């Protein structure tokens, strides 16, 4: 508080340093893996902003740095959400109004960006008030700067009260309560209005203006006083500030009446002039008493006293006007110029250090779109592949095209040789075995990651439950089971994915075992392949049969064309180059309206991009059905026209090999997809594990801080009541003998002396002076080896009653310097 003007500056909140880099990097690696390297500089800049915000410079530069950090936190909130469930960073800030709040426990710790922004905005208002209160109000620049920064402070506290604190789950420190922030908003606005009034007086504006400015200042101080009176801040400067507000209310009220009296005099309203001067004198008298020297107002009081004396003299000797009651006079007009400065959303030279990242809701919408797109592509490609497999099966059952290539029963069908060559080129059965061997290892690695991750969640939750049962209501932090629910659900989802994958692996292995023999034959060299097929007899064809062969070959050419079209369709489905387009669309809608229907937009985009491809899939399947019907009819004609057997071992073997080839192609694709799936899942699970580890680390840090606070509070608590002395020492004692009466002067035995050592001739039933040492009796009675004798009990088997070990002390002798001579019975 300024000693000459009484202007009040608010102390800043103090905060603890915290590592924000590690949790941010972990989250970005999971949510934006491709952006990690690009935004490391941004993370470093944010860390520097945070460090400087703890000790801001007391200048316009300091206010600017706080505002930049606040804007950065606000901007990144939609991209990098700091809360207990996502980026877990625990911020700790102390109450601003208690100078010993670091040690008194008046601090708040929360794991969310909103609390951090609230503390920064409070400090921005507090620092602005300090800059304003430190100005020299006797200069024009000082008044301008003070008025500006008091209004900035009022705007900061107002925004904090209206927009931010209501969203906090609980008020972390008293200085962030709605009542305190309302009081500070009004106080800063009142002080800004007072500065504007002083500027008007310094600029020699007319009394009609200055009286209105002063009256508005009085109103604001009155509101601030009422608001501050309802806040209990014992042990701080709050009560002193409240008294200053009341004094300023009377001070400006008196000045308003004074300048209005000048206006009345100019209008020859002498009675009104006197009434207002008397009211002004009364207000200033109260202000002088209430200010307690916090600001100078005696000069103004003297000025009003002189004006009142002169006016009374003139009225008594010249005008003789009746002096009206002040309540009957018209109210003074108002000119509330000071307003809370709205918090800017952008300042010159500031830019978001994470501009490269899209808002998380946009990313989530894009992810959901990608998921819907992948599902659509999977469904359509599955239709195509199932149709192709069905087509191959139908052809294999008819032994096509091999039957057309082996009419002599001796030649090896070219198509079968091509299939064998393709199998060998792709690694054959050994390649399938290698892929099969990798699957269990990949599965086991994923299961171990997930198991360890879920164990970390369980251990942290069990530890929290244990401490909560130990400390009870004092363990004031969110329950782990309430925070980790999403992580548990995510872990269960991954477990279900692994279970489904294991079932899929089992189906693939069964198909491999079913077609093992055929694939093994196809994997051999061409000579062995040819020798594995039994010889057949020559077949003669009728004229109708020859026509059927020509027709079948034509249809088989159409089959090749159909498969080629499907390959092209599959490539178009996989191209999927509309990611940037949909992100741009979502981002634009997010700027216009934070809530948008991503499902409807996704459906519209999918229909636009993939609708024609889906129609092509349907046409291809319909064409296949028609083609298979034609091939079946032509093949029946071909079979009827053959003169040889249709069920010879050669045909059956070639059919089996054809089926084996199709199985090989499908198995290889399945196994490659399975390996890719497990490797991708490993990355996802590793990211999930990192997020859980960050969560556990933050919770452990929060736990340690809370335990320190609880231990500190326990240490400060009142010591327990002194326990009652043992009954052994409460026995009634007879009157002390003269010798015993001097025992009080004997110093008590030290901890290293033989306290409790049996003394010959000592009987506890006789009175012995009970001197106290440190709140406890110095002579606790005879001590024996631990675990052998109870407290105050003598070993009956060793010494008869009243007799002590003679080897320690001769009769009548006690440890030197500890006890006076014993004078009781022997």
DSSP string, 312-355: HHHIIIII------GGGSPPPP------PPPPPS--TT---TTT
Tell me the three state secondary structure of residue 541.
Answer: strand
Judge whether residue 798 has pLDDT over 60.
Answer: no
What is the structure's pLDDT at 784? Answer: 38
Q: Which two tokens stand for residue 815?
A: 């440890």
Distance CA 343, CA 160 (A): 10
Q: Which two tokens stand for residue 722?
A: 């002194």
What is the structure's pLDDT at 369? Answer: 84
Distance CA 480, CA 484 (A): 6
Specify whether the CB–CB gap between 56 and 12 falls below 8 A.
yes
Judge whether residue 674 has pLDDT over 90.
Answer: no
Q: Between the CA of residue 298 and those of 58, 292, 363, 693, what are the distances in Å? A: 32, 11, 65, 65
Distance CA 625, CA 386 (A): 13
Q: Model confidence at 669, in pLDDT bands (50, 70, 90)?
A: confident
Judge whether residue 717 has pLDDT over 50.
Answer: yes
Q: Which of 367-376, 433-442, 583-592, 604-613 has the lowest mean pLDDT?
A: 583-592
Could you tell me which residue, 509 or 527, shows the higher pLDDT? 509
Could you tell me which residue, 271 or 804, shows the higher pLDDT? 271
Distance CA 719, CA 387 (A): 84
What is the structure's pLDDT at 202? Answer: 95
Burial of 129 (0-12, 13-18, 19+ CB in 10 A): buried
Could you tell me which residue, 176 or 671, shows the higher pLDDT? 176
Q: Model confidence at 187, in pLDDT bands (50, 70, 90)?
A: very high
Q: Which of 197-206, 359-368, 458-467 has the lowest mean pLDDT?
A: 359-368
Burial of 555 (0-12, 13-18, 19+ CB in 10 A): buried
Q: Which two tokens stand for residue 3?
A: 């000693």
Judge whether residue 131 has pLDDT over 80.
Answer: yes
Distance CA 363, CA 369 (A): 10
Distance CA 272, CA 237 (A): 40
Distance CA 395, CA 281 (A): 113
Q: Which two tokens stand for residue 356?
A: 């490269």
Inter-axis angle of helices 649-716 and 428-471, nearest 10: 20
What is the structure's pLDDT at 355? Answer: 87
Q: Output the average pLDDT for the chain.
A: 82
- pLDDT, average across residues 441-467: 92
Q: Model confidence at 777, in pLDDT bands (50, 70, 90)?
A: very low
What is the structure's pLDDT at 704? Answer: 86
What is the structure's pLDDT at 211? Answer: 96
Judge whether residue 182 has pLDDT over 80.
Answer: yes
Q: Model confidence at 330, in pLDDT bands (50, 70, 90)?
A: very high
Q: Between the CA of residue 522 and those of 426, 427, 502, what are the distances in Å? A: 11, 11, 28
Inter-axis angle of helices 360-397 and 649-716, nearest 10: 160
Could you tell me which residue, 685 or 591, shows the higher pLDDT? 685
Q: Model confidence at 649, in pLDDT bands (50, 70, 90)?
A: confident
Judge whether residue 398 has pLDDT over 90.
Answer: no
For residue 687, give the nearest of 82, 20, 26 by alpha carbon.
26
Q: Torsion angle, CA of 333/338/339/340, rounded to 10 degrees?
A: -150
What is the structure's pLDDT at 51? Answer: 95
Query: Per-residue b/e over 38-48, b at no fewer than 16 CB within 10 Å?
Result: ebeebbeebee
Q: Model confidence at 162, in pLDDT bands (50, 70, 90)?
A: very high
Distance CA 575, CA 569 (A): 10
Could you tell me which residue, 822 or 266, shows the higher pLDDT? 266
What is the structure's pLDDT at 763? Answer: 39
- pLDDT, average across residues 276-299: 91
Specify whether the CB–CB gap between 141 and 73 falls below 8 A.
no
Tell me the three state secondary structure of residue 110.
Answer: strand
Q: Model confidence at 459, in pLDDT bands (50, 70, 90)?
A: very high
């Amino acid at each position: 508080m300024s000693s000459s003007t009484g202007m009040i500056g608010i102390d800043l909140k103090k905060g603890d340093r915290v590592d924000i880099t590690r949790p941010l990097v972990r989250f970005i690696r999971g949510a934006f893996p491709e952006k990690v390297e690009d935004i490391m500089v941004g993370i470093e800049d944010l860390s520097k902003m945070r460090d400087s915000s703890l000790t801001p410079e007391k200048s316009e530069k300091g206010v600017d740095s706080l505002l930049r950090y606040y804007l950065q936190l606000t901007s990144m909130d939609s991209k990098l959400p700091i809360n207990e469930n996502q980026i877990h960073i625990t911020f700790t800030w102390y109450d601003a109004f208690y100078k010993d709040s670091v040690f008194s426990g008046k601090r708040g710790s929360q794991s969310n960006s909103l609390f951090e922004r609230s503390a920064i905005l409070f400090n921005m208002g507090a620092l602005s008030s300090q800059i304003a209160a430190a100005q020299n109000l006797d200069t024009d620049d000082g008044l301008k700067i003070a008025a500006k920064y008091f209004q900035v402070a009022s705007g900061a506290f107002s925004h904090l009260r209206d927009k931010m604190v209501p969203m906090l789950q609980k008020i972390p420190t008293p200085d962030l309560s709605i009542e305190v922030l309302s009081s500070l908003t009004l106080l800063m606005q009142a002080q800004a209005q007072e500065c504007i009034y002083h500027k008007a007086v310094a600029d020699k504006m007319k009394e009609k203006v200055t009286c209105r400015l002063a009256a508005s200042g009085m109103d604001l101080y009155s509101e601030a006083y009422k608001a501050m009176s309802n806040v209990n801040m014992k042990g701080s400067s709050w009560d002193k500030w409240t008294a200053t507000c009341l004094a300023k209310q009377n001070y400006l009220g008196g000045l308003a009446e004074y300048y209005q009296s000048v206006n009345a005099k100019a209008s020859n309203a002498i009675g009104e002039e006197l009434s207002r001067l008397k009211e002004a004198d009364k207000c200033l008298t109260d202000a002088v008493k209430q200010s307690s020297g916090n600001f100078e107002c005696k000069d103004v009081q003297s000025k009003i006293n002189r004006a009142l004396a002169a006016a009374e003299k003139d009225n008594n000797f010249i005008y003789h006007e009746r002096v009206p009651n002040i309540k009957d006079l018209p109210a003074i007009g108002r000119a509330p110029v000071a307003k809370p400065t709205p918090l800017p959303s952008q300042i010159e030279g500031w830019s978001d250090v994470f501009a490269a990242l899209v808002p998380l809701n946009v990313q989530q919408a894009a992810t959901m779109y990608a998921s819907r797109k992948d599902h659509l592509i999977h469904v359509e490609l599955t239709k195509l592949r199932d149709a192709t497999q069905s087509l191959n099966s139908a052809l294999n059952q008819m032994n096509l095209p091999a039957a057309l290539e082996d009419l002599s029963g001796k030649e090896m069908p070219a198509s079968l040789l091509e299939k064998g060559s393709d199998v060998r080129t792709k690694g054959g059965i050994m390649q399938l075995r290698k892929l099969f061997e990798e699957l269990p290892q990949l599965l086991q690695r994923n299961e171990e990651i997930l198991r360890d991750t879920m164990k970390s969640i369980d251990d942290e939750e069990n530890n929290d439950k244990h401490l909560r049962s130990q400390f009870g209501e004092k363990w004031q932090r969110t329950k782990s089971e309430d925070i980790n629910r999403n992580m548990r659900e995510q872990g269960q989802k991954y477990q279900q994915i692994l279970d489904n994958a294991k079932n899929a692996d089992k189906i693939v292995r069964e198909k491999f075992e079913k077609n093992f023999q055929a694939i093994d034959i196809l994997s051999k060299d061409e000579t062995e392949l040819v020798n594995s097929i039994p010889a057949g007899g020559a077949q003669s064809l009728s004229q109708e049969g020859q026509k059927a062969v020509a027709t079948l070959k034509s249809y088989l050419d159409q089959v090749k064309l159909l498969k080629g079209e499907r390959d092209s369709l599959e490539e178009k489905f996989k191209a999927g180059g509309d990611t940037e387009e949909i992100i741009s669309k979502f981002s634009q809608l997010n700027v216009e309206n934070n809530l948008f229907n991503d499902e409807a937009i996704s459906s519209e985009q999918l229909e636009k991009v993939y609708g024609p491809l889906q129609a092509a899939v349907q046409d291809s399947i319909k064409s296949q059905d028609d083609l298979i019907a034609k091939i079946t009819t032509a093949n029946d004609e071909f079979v009827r026209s053959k003169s040889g057997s249709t069920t010879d071992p050669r045909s059956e073997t070639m059919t089996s090999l054809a089926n084996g080839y199709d199985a090989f192609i499908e198995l290889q694709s399945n196994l490659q997809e399975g390996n890719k799936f497990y490797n991708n899942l490993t990355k996802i699970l590793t990211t999930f594990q990192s997020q859980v580890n960050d969560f556990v680390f933050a919770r452990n840090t929060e736990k340690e801080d809370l335990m320190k606070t609880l231990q500190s509070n326990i240490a400060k608590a009142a010591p327990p009541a002194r326990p009652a002395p043992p009954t052994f020492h409460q026995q009634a004692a007879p009157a002390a003998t003269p010798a015993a009466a001097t025992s009080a002067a004997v110093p008590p035995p030290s901890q290293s002396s033989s306290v409790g050592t049996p003394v010959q001739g000592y009987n506890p039933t006789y009175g012995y002076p009970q001197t106290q040492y440190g709140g406890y009796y110095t002579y606790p009675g005879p001590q024996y080896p631990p675990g052998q004798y109870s407290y105050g009990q003598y070993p009956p088997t060793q010494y008869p009653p009243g007799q002590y070990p003679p080897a320690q002390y001769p009769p009548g002798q006690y440890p030197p310097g500890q006890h006076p001579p014993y004078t009781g019975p022997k």
